[in-house]
Amino acid sequence: MAIGVIMGSEKAAISSEGYIDRQTYEALSYRAQSTFVDCRPKLYSLFELYRKMKSRLQDFDAPDRWVLSINCIVIFSVYV
């Protein structure tokens, strides 16, 4: 669930990295995202480790494809 918020949120879609930073994730309101509210620092650390592992393996996952798709749509719509 955390990766869906970190990489799949509206804020993530408009960020240059394709995901929200730690400060933004940890500052989400309880009302906006109540899941794992007490574990956010640890979850973001796990996300960072996961990203490093994927990078070393040159792996691509579903959230990466989603971010790439959104970026292509944005780029295409600028040139249309």
Work out the average pLDDT over 50-69. Answer: 81
48 pLDDT higher than 90: yes
pLDDT at 71 over 80: no
Q: What is the model's pLDDT at position 34?
A: 76
Residue appearing with tokens 């990466």? 64
How many distinct structural domains can be found in the chain?
A: 1
User: In this predicted structure, what is the pLDDT of residue 1?
Assistant: 57
Query: Is the entire prediction scored with pTM above 0.75?
Result: no
- Domain extent at residue 37: 2-79
For 43-66, b where at least 16 C-beta lie within 10 A, e where not — what string? Answer: bbeebeeebeeeeeeeeeeebeeb
Location of structure tokens 């899941």: 35
pLDDT at 21 over 70: yes
